[in-house]
Structure 1
Amino acid sequence: MPAKRTPPPERDDLEQDAGSRPLRADARRNRARILEVASAVFASEGLAVPIDEIARRAGVGAGTVYRHFPTKESLFEAIVLDRVERLIEEARSLAAADDPGAAFFRFFSSAVEAGLANRGLGDALAAAGFDREAAVDRKLLGAIGKLLRRAQRAGAVRGDVDAADVKALLLGCLAMERCQGEGSAPRRLLAIVCDGLRGPRAG
């Protein structure tokens, strides 16, 4: 009687842990797809959606999700940190803009809008439950600081604030906008905060 053959593992089983070697193309695609689907699901339905359902919607097995993200919390953290990295890249891309003031206020408004669209992003900006990613926070403050200093040199932003102040104002603005009741002017508080940041030569 021939020996029973063991079925081959799913393709993601062949991948080594992060840090040993880069993920293969199919594993990268699976990871990106999981993040995309989970982001949409968490944003619209909350964190109660089970991993099995996220896997089904992503078109992968639940085991594939768990290999990339051992817990639902790690999946959520990866989504949020990805959003923070996008904010960092946006800030860096605006750092060479011709109009430093416009670039700074565009980033500030964009960060508030992103945080309103994704509550988890606001939590990440506040470092709630993301202490081990302090390096990401330092990168964000560095990117904000570069935008801020250029805007201050141009007189577009008041000179008595630093990057930590800007981050605190971002968080405060997010909290206030979320608390606004129906009938309030949209983004009124965002406009007030931006006006308070403007320098003597603001356009």
Structure 2
Amino acid sequence: MEQPTSASLRADARRNREQIIDAARTMFLRMGVDVPMDEIARAAGVGIGTLYRRFPDRAELIKAVSRDSLHEMAEVARGLERDEPDPTVALRDLLRTFRDRYLVIVMTAVSAHAFETLKDTPAVIEDRDELLVVVGRLLRRCQEQGTVRPDVAPGDLILAVAAISRLIPAPGDELGAMVFDRLFALVMDAFRVGSPAALPGRPVDYPDVTQLRQHGGLAGFGRA
């Protein structure tokens, strides 16, 4: 019988890792970051031993999911800021990316469990901070252009997308997907200049998100 080559073994390892990451992202989405590891292995189509060889514990898996997704989002943010001349279009498309990868926002912005796991992970922190900087720059350009209301800050955008994303529909749920898209469009429309009602309080920035999380004000996020 032909023996597997080192190249094929590396390819198998990469494929297993991708399957586990994809399954974990989906399971975290559906059940929160405390989903049993054996359920993640089952969804990935690998044995529990394979999962633990790749990711010795839950913390390492959370880091890997966040690292991969945040890096992808940071790449999208850099590309949009560089290539899209209209800041309103760039910000809209970036928020759609946030929506489609909302798990990362929930995990890194508001979930206390995941935040504790990720807070000392330089690669995650670097990509997250870069995303916040790009969002802030695009938002200011939109406000200077007069297309986004002046009384909002990046934290308002992040929390709005995270809140909407708690209602993500199940795969194949066409009605749920349609309602979700409408709700996202309605909330995004509220950020436009010309919205009739003034917002209470003051603009929410990322330090406010951090304070809310520390005080338990976001306890419902990141959980099933």
TM-score category (smaller protein): 0.5 to 0.7
Q: Which residue of 1 aligns with 2:105?
A: 121
Question: How big is each residue's C-alpha offset from its partner over 1:35-77, in whole Å with a ceiling of 9 and x where there is no partner?
Answer: 1122222323444543233223323332221122121232133
Q: Which residue of 1 aligns with 2:189?
A: 191
Q: Which residue of 1 aligns with 2:48?
A: 62
Structure 2 residue matching 1:195: 3-state secondary structure: coil
Q: Which residue of 2 aligns with 1:37?
A: 23
Paired residues of 2:74 and 2:128 also in contact (CA < 8 A):
no
Question: Residues of 2 paired with 1:153 and 1:34: CA distance?
Answer: 43
Structure of higher CA gyration radius: 1
Amino acid at match of 2:120: R
Question: Residues 85 and 62 of structure 1: is their aligned pair in 2 closer, same or farther, counting only changes over 3 Å?
Answer: same
Deviation at 1:176, TM superposition (A): 5.0
Q: 1:106 aligns with which of 93, 105, 111?
A: 93
Name the TM-score, length of structure 1 as normaliser: 0.62
Structure 1: segments with no counterpart, 5+ residues: 1-10, 15-22, 199-203
Matched, 1:174 2:138: no
Q: How many percent identity over aligned positions?
A: 33
Matched, 1:97 2:88: no
Runs (4 or more) in structure 1 with deviation over 6 Å come to 158-161
Paired residues of 2:19 and 2:44 also in contact (CA < 8 A):
yes
Structure 2: segments with no counterpart, 5+ residues: 168-178, 196-224
- CA RMSD in angstroms comes to 3.7
Matched, 1:88 2:74: yes
Q: Which has the higher contact order (CA 8 A, sep 6+)?
A: 2
Matched, 1:50 2:36: yes
Deviation at 1:32, TM superposition (A): 0.9
Amino acid at match of 2:134: A
How many pairs does the alignment contain? 168
Deviation at 1:196, TM superposition (A): 5.0
